[in-house]
Amino acid sequence: MTKEVKIVNVLIVTGGSIDYKFACEYIKRYTWDYVVCADAGMKFCHAAGILPDLILGDFDSVDDASYSYFKEKCPERMEQFPTHKDETDTELALLRAIAAGADTVTMIGATGTRMDHVMGNIQMLKLAMDKGVSCQIVDAHNRIRMVQGQAELKKSDQFGKYVSLLPFTPEVIGITLKGFAYEVEDFTLVSGIARGVSNELEAETGTITCREGILLVIESRD
């Protein structure tokens, strides 16, 4: 009897801007149980020698060379959707990762010049959160996560010098920060102001807690 492999850590490569050197180094640093490639993410996977477990999308933005390569290499792993559909290709990839049983999802290629797609991808962090899945967006300069309740940031795993908190819900109530350059207690952030931008982690471990609402936590480096 074949033992079922549990899918825990999922990588999604999608079609935004990807810094090749950063992405290759980041991907090699971790173990991925399942790799999903969305549409134009095929170009990076082709160049990096990555064979995804699943390739999906409407394939309207992938280059011919990458499409032909994967069509010949692993046609059974490719699933094409109509161009006119409700979900973006990245959303389809995330839904498949969740359906596969992912505990954590990392999205690369989810940022770039198309701000509509960037904002939409950030919105999808909430989709993952609602399903009990930890999801993050990573690029060469930022790591974007969503926090409800409590989170810890460790210097050993710190992505960038700056830590910014932005309210995802109209207001986030009861924010307490410990271990940061700017600490607050029982503070409220509301939409429309940038009060939570450019904090810095000072202690080995920083804690973020909030009583009500959802925060976007963005770690950034220049």
**CA dihedral in degrees (164, 170, 174, 180; nearest 10)?**
0
User: What is the distance between the alpha carbons of residues 63 and 39, in angstroms, rounded to a whole number?
Assistant: 9
User: What is the distance between the alpha carbons of residues 31 and 49, in angstroms, rounded to a whole number?
Assistant: 16
Mean per-residue pLDDT of the chain: 95
Q: Place 158 in a pLDDT band, splitting at 50, 70 and 90.
A: very high
The pLDDT assigned to 2 comes to 47
Could you read off the pLDDT of 28-81 as tens digits, one per residue? 999 999 999 999 999 999 999 999 999 999 999 999 999 999 999 999 999 999
Q: Place 6 in a pLDDT band, splitting at 50, 70 and 90.
A: confident
Percent of the chain with pLDDT over 90: 95
The pLDDT assigned to 1 comes to 46
Could you read off the pLDDT of 109-131 as tens digits, one per residue? 999 999 999 999 999 999 999 99
Question: Given a cut of 80, is residue 4 above it in pLDDT?
Answer: no
Q: What domains, with CATH codes, occur in the chain?
A: 9-140 (3.40.50.10240), 146-220 (3.40.50.10240)
Question: Given a cut of 70, is residue 5 above it in pLDDT?
Answer: no
